Amino acid sequence: MKDYYYFLGISQDASEEDIKKVYRKLSIKYHPDKNDNDDFFSDRFREIQEAYETLSDKSRRSAYDQNLESHQKSFRYNIPPAIKTFTANKIHAKKGEEIIINWQTSNADVVKILPFGLEKPYGERIFKITEFKDGKFQLLLHVTNSLLHKTVVQAITITEVFENDAEKFRDKTEDLFKSQPRTLMNPHGQPKIIRIIGAIIVLAVAIYFLIKSFS
């Protein structure tokens, strides 16, 4: 049985206003027109609509809550979740190369693959890696038994492969000049090259004054 509350990311005691707000936000995020008609986003969009149509109607929500409670009680709550398989057809890939992953789980009512989101207990997904982070792209399979409050996680790490040394050098050079995420240490999101130059200048000044103090 689908958990509509989980699909919308809300608790079972959420108000009607909360449901409306979340639905508006998610329907915009997952709308197929904004995501090149990707099947993944289309499926999530349909599930979000389905959840909203049920939970926004008082009588339908009441009946759904009763069925959900009954389902949860009958679920094999005493058996922890498990990951039977989680594989990728390749663990070394070039940027833009097609990857196929397969997974199969058991005793779980919530299955999620990051960075994609909610998925079925078993299946296959085809995607392309558009960006690596430090030469790596990580997939995380989260399998949860919500009644037991237990989650099992498994990871797949795909490393970047370059056509040649020139391409690798160009990629690393572009990374040096690319704006970085804003952090406490880098509040303005300055590129790595700016911070490297700044560190070199500070070091040069420190060496200058050190030499001067001994002269």
pLDDT 10s per residue in the chain (215 long)? 678 888 888 888 899 999 999 999 988 888 878 777 677 778 888 889 999 999 999 999 999 988 887 776 665 556 889 999 999 999 999 888 999 999 999 888 889 999 988 888 889 999 999 889 888 999 999 998 877 788 999 999 999 987 655 555 565 666 666 777 777 767 777 777 777 887 888 888 878 777 877 76
Residue 199's pLDDT is what?
80
Nearest to 127 by CA among 115, 135, 118: 115
Cα–Cα distance measured from residue 45 to residue 36, given in angstroms and rounded to the nearest whole number: 13
Residue 60's pLDDT is what?
92
Cα–Cα distance measured from residue 129 to residue 30, given in angstroms and rounded to the nearest whole number: 19
Give one word for 44, left, alpha or beta, with left for phi > 0 and alpha for psi -120 to 50.
alpha
Read off the tokens for 211. 């030499």
| Domain of residue 12, residue span | 4-74
Residues in the chain: 215
Cα–Cα distance measured from residue 70 to residue 148, given in angstroms and rounded to the nearest whole number: 16
Cα–Cα distance measured from residue 108 to residue 195, given in angstroms and rounded to the nearest whole number: 46
Which of 130, 160, 190 terminates a domain? The answer is 160
pTM score of the predicted model: 0.50
Residues 53, 88: one domain? no
Strand order across the 98-106 sheet: 82-88, 98-106, 122-128
Read off the tokens for 143. 């399998």
Residue 201's pLDDT is what?
85
Strand order across the 110-114 sheet: 92-93, 150-160, 136-145, 110-114, 117-119
Which of 56, 74, 92 terminates a domain? The answer is 74
Residues 149, 104: one domain? yes
Residues 104, 141: one domain? yes
Task: Return the C-alpha torsion angle 99, 102, 108, 112, nearest 10.
Answer: 10
H or E segment to which residue 152 belongs: strand 150-160
Cα–Cα distance measured from residue 118 to residue 45, given in angstroms and rounded to the nearest whole number: 12
Look at the chain and report how many structural domains it folds into: 3
H or E segment to which residue 3 belongs: none
CATH of the domain at 53: 1.10.287.110
Residues 57, 9: one domain? yes
Residue 199: strand, helix, or coil: helix
Residues 150, 196: one domain? no
Residue 134 CA, distance from chain mean position: 17
Bridge-partner residues for 161, per DSSP? none
